[in-house]
Amino acid sequence: MKNISGFILLSFILLVTTASCRNKQSSEPVSLNVMSFNIWMGGGKSIEATADVLVNSGADIVGIQEATRKDQNTAKQIADSLNWHSYVYGRSTAIISKYPIVDTSENKQGVKIKIDDSHFVWMFNVHLIYCPYEPYQLNGIEYCGAPFLSTEAEAIESAKKSREKEVKSNISDILTVQKEGYPVFLTGDFNEPSCLDWTDKAVEAKLCKIAVAWPSTKAFIDAGLKDSYREKYPDEVKDPGHTWTTLPETKAYTEVLDRIDFVFFSGDNIKLENSQIVGEESPLSNIKFNKYPSDHRAVLSTFTIE
């Protein structure tokens, strides 16, 4: 009887020890690459080139804007071809992921993604309205019939009128899921610059016309999210990080270069390792593709999650 009891006790100790080792292995930090990518009308110059960017950039989770071409969701098609997971909502947005999508947020704007048994993240993705585009209005460029603007107050009022409702809806969902304690990511083409970029310092460097505390980025920052690119590169003059646009200027086409594509994040157990601009063969890109397909450069940020 004593021998049997001893055998049972030994078996139990071995079982607990083995489980403990497995838990330690599974709870080791993981690396995650999160991308924001406006693929330009469902695949821009080439759907194949779009897929190439997604695969060879090293992205793990991607928030995609302008996901549809001729009523077909290109993002989902690419995800299916790669055996990735996808979440499509609205006409122009999608989230694709190497990892399983296991839940959605209250307003269906974000998804919960399972990295492994010990690591989960929440992912949100937005494509805020493109018209009016206040940087054009401030620079006297005719666009979609919107009136010209001359002051910071006018620019903020216009931006809030256009985008505040969608921003607040996403923030509501984000604040709810943050209670779970998992990292939260927000990607998007905001069609609005960053409040961290249009500063007095940037005006002096002639990177923008006036200083503007742009409200959409400010609202997400006030909700506890951090702008990964500007966290990595805090000098808005030295590292403007322009994502708009890859299209060349012509005599008939004047452009306002800007940073309107973002990867935001929040969480206590997450560390930003890097943030890179993905685009064409250009000094403005960190990761370069010879046949880059989009009119937006993408943003790829790398994180370690404890």
The pLDDT, as a whole number, for residue 254 is 81
Three-state SS string over the chain comes to CHHHHHHHHHHHHHHHHHHHHHHHHHCCCEEEEEEEEECHHHHCCCHHHHHHHHHHCCCCEEEEECCEECCEEHHHHHHHHCCCEEEEECCCEEEEECCCEEEECCCCCEEEEEEECCEEEEEEEEECCCCCCHHHHHCCCCCCCCCCCCCHHHHHHHHHHHHHHHHHHHHHHHHHHHCCCCCEEEEEECCCCCCCCCCHHHHHCCCCCCCCCCHHHHHHHHCCCEEHHHHHCCCCCCCCCCCECCCCCECCECCCCECCEEEEEECCCEEEEEEEEEEECCCCCCEEECCCCCCECEEEEEEEEC
The pLDDT, as a whole number, for residue 24 is 38
The pLDDT, as a whole number, for residue 251 is 60
Comparing CA positions, the residue from 134, 127, 189, 122 lying closest to residue 161 is 134
Comparing CA positions, the residue from 158, 109, 94, 127 lying closest to residue 296 is 127
**What strands, in cross-sheet order, belong to the sheet with 110-116?**
101-104, 110-116, 119-127, 184-189, 261-266, 226-227
**What strands, in cross-sheet order, belong to the sheet with 85-89?**
85-89, 93-97, 61-65, 30-38, 298-305, 270-280, 287-289
**CATH match for 29-305 among 3.40.50.10490, 3.30.930.10, 3.60.10.10, 1.20.58.1030:** 3.60.10.10
The answer to whether the beta carbons of residues 260 and 253 sit under 8 Å apart is: no
pLDDT in tens, 117-154: 999 999 999 999 999 999 999 999 999 999 999 999 99
Whether 23 shows a pLDDT value over 80: the answer reads no
Give the model's confidence band at 17: pLDDT under 50 very low, under 70 low, under 90 confident, else very high. very low
pLDDT in tens, 251-284: 656 899 999 999 999 999 999 999 999 999 999 9
Comparing CA positions, the residue from 201, 185, 289 lying closest to residue 240 is 201
Quote the mean pLDDT of the chain: 92
d(CA 220, CA 157): 17
245: Cβ contacts below 8 Å, ≥ 6 apart: 255, 257, 295, 296
Q: Is 248 left (phi over 0), alpha (psi -120 to 50) or beta?
A: beta
Q: How far is CA 25 from the centre of its chain?
A: 29
Share of the chain above pLDDT 90, in %: 88
Pairing relationship of beta strands 61-65 and 30-38 according to DSSP bridges: parallel
